[in-house]
Chain A
Amino acid sequence: MHFFSQTFNYDHPWAHVVIGMWHKYPNSKCTHVVSIDTIDRTVDPVTGIIRTERVMGCKQKAPLWIVKLFGGSEDAFVREISFVDPATQNVTITSVNLSLSQFATCNELIRYSPASPTHTLFSQTAEIQARMALWRSAADGLEKWLVQRFEQNAHLGKLGFTDVLRNLWEERHRAPSPS
């Protein structure tokens, strides 16, 4: 498991940051985010809390070996759930990768809360974790496959060389080279 975290302040009031977060993309500095779709949204008629579920499409130039090994493509999708609570002036945004999630997960939590009437605290944590059980079973499967291939090839090697030896020496016995 790997962790990442950072915090800093934006020089804007909380409400301005929270209005702004719906305008973050498209962004010339974050061109990897190519699509955003809201797939669910509720406004709680008692608490006023807005829950939004979105799917973000990202184009990441993954290293070629990752694409080959995991069958990934350039398109990666992320599920994002946000809660905007005006009463506590708290925003939380949770994200998790949908693509390649059978191999590893990246869970991110972002919070926006007022640091002062004119400043907003941003905090971000992420946990990146490979699914070890699956890795083990994949590694186990890979080893089994390699052993089978090795056994097959060893068997074919034996048959093949037997043929070569037989043909070579049968030929030479039939037609001894003139001395």
Chain B
Amino acid sequence: MSQSLSPECTPLKQAYDSCFNSWFEGYLEPAIAASTSAETRAAYSKKKADEFQAKCGKVWEEYKACVQKAVKEKGLDKLLQQAREENPLVEPIPPLPVNPTKK
């Protein structure tokens, strides 16, 4: 498993990544199946978002505190702030238009 930018955060990072990956692997394929209607999708999304928070919320808070400190110490906080101002990227990027002539 990959390292954190700060060695002291690596154990928390790896615990968080494991938690996310295990949640995500259970999430993804049923999420595709639940996307047949907006209602089933919203019901499934809400349930799984709550589950993610319940499973990984605690380790996330610990890891986040550690990594935020490390980001600041490396002077990356200002660069991140600048990048966020230039391109917040809070809205998903739409899929490419489907070209009917292409398979």
Q: Give CA–CA (A49, B82) in the complex, Å.
A: 25
Q: Scan residues 1-33 of chain A and give those whose CB is less than 8 A from a CB of chain B.
A: 15, 18-19, 22-23, 25-26, 33
Given the known interface contacts A48-B45, A87-B41, A111-B96, the answer about A37 and B9 at a Cβ–Cβ threshold of 8 Å is: yes
Question: With a CB–CB cut-off of 8 A, which chain A residues contact B46?
Answer: 45-46
**B residues less than 8 Å from A90 (CB atoms):** 92, 95
Contacts of B82 in A (CB 8 A): 101
Residues in B with CB closer than 8 Å to A124 are: none
Docked CA distance A36–B82 (Å): 20
Closest to B32 in A: A86
Contact indicator A39/B96 (Cβ below 8 Å): no
- 5 additional A-B residue pairs with CB within 8 Å, beyond A15-B28, A41-B60: A33-B2, A44-B49, A45-B50, A111-B96, A113-B96
Residues of A that sit less than 8 Å from B by CB: 15, 18-19, 22-23, 25-26, 33-39, 41, 43-51, 53, 55, 57, 77, 79, 81, 83-90, 92, 94, 96, 98-99, 101, 109, 111, 113, 123
